[in-house]
Chains A and B, each alone.
Chain A
Amino acid sequence: MIPAEFDYHRAESVGDAISALADGGEGAKLLAGGHSLLPLMKLRLAAPSLLVDISGLDELRGVEQANGGWTIGGGSRHAELEDRNDLGVVARAASLIADQQVRNRGTIGGSLAHGDPASDLPAVLLAAKGEVETQGGGGRRTISAADLFRDLWDTSLAADEVITAVRFPPLDGWGWGYEKYSRRAEDWAMVGVCALVKAADGSCEDARIGLTNMGTTPLRATAAEEALRGQSLSAEGIAAAAEQAAQGTEPPGDLNATPEYKRHLARVLTRRALEQAAGLRD
């Protein structure tokens, strides 16, 4: 399997990449780790006319603590995140992406920009109320996770916009859990759940739950979050809230799962992720 022909520009800076994207017009695409784009190009499901390669830009890499939260360069690779226990749920989710070779190349910015609801990091960003910093022809802006994901493989990024950084707000005091369910270790999630829980005196002060692969975008399980707030973080309280996890979702069926099964998995995994977040489960 061989990609169709394209032109190639190795960007020297983010600014250079943006100009190249603008010059390249409609068929221009950014290439970072390439682990979402190149497989599609090899199957000829994508055929950009120009690839602007930002994989060599050191300015896009790095993890910094800022204002109690984290700022992660958009070009940072999953492998740079997976072993950092201080990154909490971000590290856990990154460690569960595909396999080591993929994590050695795939980037957080690329994963978010691809807008694939089956990827792990979008639901984490959504649950964490994170945001992406971008730079493009229209200047710099910040896009919240809630505004980033529009539809299947569709984000609110402009064609000439680069995710320069991904910001996670401070999550001190929040417990977390990430549950990924797949048939084989290297597969995409059939369903994944990111749970964040803030506890106070054994009950839930706040909860945020992100769902992977339960729709055309990552979703928040707002009904379950609502049900848990103010409730006891006991196994029973969590189980009751988790029953609401699939409410309002319409996941598409596929080879491995019917919509009904995915909704069932969302409920089970939400309970397990919440139990992790509440310290009731490893």
Chain B
Amino acid sequence: MMEAATRTSGGDDYVGQTIPRKEDARMIAGQGRYVDDINPVGTLHAAIVRSPEAHATIVSIDTSEAREHPNVVAVFTGEDLADDWKADVPSVWHPPGVEMHHPDHWPLKRGEVKCVGDPVAVVVATDRYVAADAAEEVIVEYDPKPVVVDPERALENGSPLVWDQFGTNKSHEWAISGGDIDRALADADVVMERRVVNHRTAGAAIEARGCLAEPHGDSVTLYSSTQIPHIARFQLAGMLGMPEDKIRVVAPDVGGGFGTKLNVYGDEALMCALARRLGRAVKWIETRSENLAYNHHGRDQIAYVTIGAKSDGTLAGLKVRMINDLGAYQQLLTPFIPVLGFPVMGGAYRFPAIDLHFTGVFTNKFATDAIRGAGRPEGTHYLEVTMDQLADELGIDRLELRRKNFIGADEFPYETPLGIVYDSGNYAGTLDKLLEHVDVDAFRREQEELREKGIHRGIGFSTYVEVCGLAPSRAVGPQNLGLHAAFFESAAVRVHPTGSATVFSGASPHGQGHDTTFAQIAADRLGISPDDVEVVHGDTNAGPWGWGTYGSRALAVGGEAVARAAERVQDKAKQICAAMLEAAPEDIELADGQFRVKGSPDRSMSMADIALAAYVPPDELPAEVEPGLEEAAFFDPENFVFPFGAHACVVDVDAETGKVKIVRWIAVDDCGRQVNPMLVDGQIHGGVTHAIGQALYEQIVYDSDGQLVTGTLVDYGLPTAAELPNIETDRQETPSPVNSLGVKGVGEAGTIAASPAVLNAVVDALRPLGITYIDMPLTPLRVWQAMQDAGGDGSSSNRGGGS
């Protein structure tokens, strides 16, 4: 289906090099500019009044006392602002032919609240302290309704309903299948079924969300801590009923996203509405408690996995039935996120048949949506955990089982039973490289020795495949997968008269380092230094339209757009150079930072010479050459890209207390060609850590009344430096044929790889006790309970070693 994209031109002076980041200078000096650092004169501050009830009818809201509070400018309820909205909070997945319930989701709730944190009123005051005081004075009377928080209970007859009008808590069902699964499982020698839970987590960027709306006549500017300024403007135009050109959205420096800022939130529309009503800038900065309650969560799935294999280990088929807890609402991509895992749910393996079924369920919790990895960590977790268990069931070494079923390096492009085409890969290669760092035989000897001393040491592996570089627009669009969106990316490259350049990107970063990597890509193609390339992003009034940074797409789609725009500039530069040097454009080459005539290196011009000629045309330049040196490109990929790799995790489990300590992590990843290896390392470190957090420490917990138990960072346990190991990294480079750079993506790879490696390591440590599986998070309590259930703390167990 694919042919290798060709690189038309450009040197390799900077792409592939470790270069410290350009964006650091402002951040290490305290000159970063995050939303709450922006303070137009006279800015008002908003505080949102939120429901403490998980499900209730709003009986009354008394705002009189709050309105009287000195320095309060206004107080609004949902009723007050009902006419300010032309549409509710958007949700863009409407798969053709699938019946789906879409609940209303307004910026301020009227009538009923459906989860803790639902906004019911907003107070605007002259400063944030007064707003907080007055918000406490808004008196809301609620009449509680029955609550359901467990998605399996929600599907039972007689369950309380989140939305009475639907008559069910089921939002939708979606399925995809390839190969004959029934026959595959019938013919298998071993069929194993497992229930695997992937619990609810938070993105928990260290900068919580916030936004500031500033009115300008009939326009409004929204500064928002968002990953998607252009999508936000697109959707806000609909919500507010405003022409898109009257809205400017700016994502300034954004303090981490992890998916939570890949959304359009009601509060963004609310601040715009308030600014327009009041004619003043209005800022709202959420508290961490609001962040944990009312930024979308992630995961929250239960999977029933059936896997079949021949007795020699040849995989026969994979069937997964998933229950996806959507929470009470559908945010931008809520029902879609579990589905995003489907292209790689068969992982790195040859499965003749795969059958997947997803059921979306409403509960009285806030919505789930994309959190780092978004569907792919879940799918990978189910598969890689189950693979270990299958190996044990078959009595085959866990790595041998994987190796036996790996898609071969010579089989790419490889089409899976689900019709997905893996672009390139060498799965055995990353595993081999991993094993250069890990001596499994030596580990097994050490494991036995330690067990004698009462230490349960275990090793776990994960050999993952990721799908990213979202996305070929038509394949995922309204008529196919059903997203009412597209996923091209854009760039404009402007070389200034003095020869330095500005790159405008539609992809808006929040820590990834676009300022540096995009500069590297452009610099190679322009024949200048990355130091002379400034990257501008995150402002809908600056540069072309783009879909944002998420889904490990910025480089593979946005970076490619930069490359293409820069190559167009290069082509024009060659044209100018040719005219100036009296040569043919095709005889001009870019080498060593000079545009020169092939074979006559002394006849050359620098980009600065050419740029000056482009802007101040000399007589030598023919009139038909347009002035200026600026080009744009939009890139819509033909396919996804498929990074992969092999990770190993070594843990010690305290035989008495159940506490898990990660003692070693080795990550060998292949994300195609690397633009800046140091930044790739950084993404792997963070990605792995995110999944270690989920595997061991983090969980969003609602009690049976729908109260959020983990509403602060005291209870929501982000790991600290003291809990974590060094992350050893190594790489293989298998270029992608999908883009000219040969790049894939790496922002989520670590997160996708890591959680099953942790679980597999803990199980490896505890298997002699008879423990084969424990639900994440593997807290000391859970592990201890599992050891108790298995018949004691096991510190003196002698039931033999692992595989």
Tell whether A pairs with B. Answer: yes
Taking Cβ atoms with an 8 Å cutoff, the residues of A that contact B are 1-2, 4-5, 43-44, 181, 183-187, 190, 255-258, 261, 264-265, 268
Q: List 9 A-B contacts (CB under 8 A).
A: A2-B128, A181-B659, A183-B717, A185-B720, A185-B723, A190-B780, A255-B701, A256-B780, A268-B656
The number of chain B residues with a CB under 8 A from chain A is 28
Identify the 4 closest CB pairs spanning chains A and B, nearest first: A185-B722, A2-B132, A268-B656, A2-B129
Is B779 in contact with A183, judged by CB distance below 8 angstroms? yes
Closest to A186 in B: B720
Docked Cα-Cα span, A2 to B123, in Å, equals 15
Q: B128, B288, B656, B709 — which one has the most chain A CB atoms within 10 A of its CB? A: B656
CB-CB < 8 A to B722: which residues of A?
A: 184-186
B178 within 8 Å of A by Cβ? Answer: no
CB-CB < 8 A to A184: which residues of B?
A: 697, 717, 719-720, 722-723
CB-CB < 8 A to B136: which residues of A?
A: 4, 44
Is A183 in contact with B697, judged by CB distance below 8 angstroms? yes
B294 within 8 Å of A by Cβ? Answer: no
B287 within 8 Å of A by Cβ? Answer: yes
CB-CB < 8 A to B719: which residues of A?
A: 184
Docked Cα-Cα span, A256 to B129, in Å, equals 34
Is B133 in contact with A4, judged by CB distance below 8 angstroms? yes
Is B710 in contact with A255, judged by CB distance below 8 angstroms? yes
Within 8 A of A (CB), among B695-712: 697, 701, 709-710, 712
B626 within 8 Å of A by Cβ? Answer: no
Is A261 in contact with B784, judged by CB distance below 8 angstroms? yes
Within 8 A of A (CB), among B649-673: 656-657, 659
Given A183-B697, A184-B723, A256-B781: A268 in contact with B657 (beta carbons within 8 A): yes
Closest to B655 in A: A268
CB-CB < 8 A to B129: which residues of A?
A: 2
Q: A1, A2, A4, A181 — which one has the most chain B CB atoms within 10 A of its CB? A: A2
Given A185-B720, A185-B723, A268-B657: A255 in contact with B133 (beta carbons within 8 A): no
Is A257 in contact with B781, judged by CB distance below 8 angstroms? yes
Cβ-neighbour of A264 out of B709, B723, B784 (below 8 A):
B784
Contact with A along B750-792 (1 / 0, CB 8 A): 0000000000000000000000000000011100110000000
Task: Identify 7 new A-B residue pairs, CB closer than 8 A, beyond the known A2-B129, A183-B697, A258-B781.
Answer: A1-B289, A2-B133, A44-B136, A184-B717, A256-B779, A261-B780, A268-B657
B620 within 8 Å of A by Cβ? Answer: no
Q: State the Cβ distance, A123 to closest chain B Cβ, in Å.
A: 18
B715 within 8 Å of A by Cβ? Answer: yes
Is A255 in contact with B289, judged by CB distance below 8 angstroms? no
Interface of A is mostly: loop
Within 8 A of A (CB), among B108-163: 128-129, 132-133, 136
Docked Cα-Cα span, A257 to B136, in Å, equals 33
Cβ-neighbour of B715 out of A185, A255, A258 (below 8 A):
A255
Docked Cα-Cα span, A173 to B781, in Å, equals 37
CB-CB < 8 A to B132: which residues of A?
A: 1-2
Closest to B290 in A: A1
Closest to A2 in B: B132
Contact with A along B189-215 (1 / 0, CB 8 A): 000000000000000000000000000
Q: B709, B723, B784 — which one has the most chain A CB atoms within 10 A of its CB? A: B784
Closest to A190 in B: B780
Q: B289, B701, B780 — which one has the most chain A CB atoms within 10 A of its CB? A: B780
Closest to A253 in B: B781
CB-CB < 8 A to A43: which residues of B?
A: 712
Docked Cα-Cα span, A197 to B697, in Å, equals 35
Closest to A268 in B: B656
Q: State the Cβ distance, B303 to closest chain A Cβ, in Å.
A: 25
CB-CB < 8 A to A1: which residues of B?
A: 132, 287-289
Q: State the Cβ distance, B657 to closest chain A Cβ, in Å.
A: 6
Is A181 in contact with B720, judged by CB distance below 8 angstroms? no
Within 8 A of A (CB), among B717-757: 717, 719-720, 722-723
Contact with A along B439-477 (1 / 0, CB 8 A): 000000000000000000000000000000000000000
CB-CB < 8 A to B712: which residues of A?
A: 43
Is A265 in contact with B657, judged by CB distance below 8 angstroms? yes
Q: State the Cβ distance, A266 to closest chain B Cβ, in Å.
A: 11
Docked Cα-Cα span, A108 to B504, in Å, equals 55
CB-CB < 8 A to A44: which residues of B?
A: 136
CB-CB < 8 A to B697: which residues of A?
A: 183-184
Cβ-neighbour of B657 out of A181, A186, A255, A258 (below 8 A):
A181
CB-CB < 8 A to A185: which residues of B?
A: 720, 722-723
Q: State the Cβ distance, B199 to closest chain A Cβ, in Å.
A: 13
Docked Cα-Cα span, A78 to B397, in Å, equals 52
CB-CB < 8 A to A183: which residues of B?
A: 697, 717, 779-780
CB-CB < 8 A to B710: which residues of A?
A: 255
Docked Cα-Cα span, A101 to B701, in Å, equals 28
Docked Cα-Cα span, A258 to B658, in Å, equals 14
Q: State the Cβ distance, B47 to closest chain A Cβ, in Å.
A: 9
CB-CB < 8 A to A181: which residues of B?
A: 657, 659, 780
CB-CB < 8 A to B715: which residues of A?
A: 255
Closest to A257 in B: B781
Q: State the Cβ distance, B659 to closest chain A Cβ, in Å.
A: 8
Q: State the Cβ distance, B329 to closest chain A Cβ, in Å.
A: 25
CB-CB < 8 A to B657: which residues of A?
A: 181, 264-265, 268
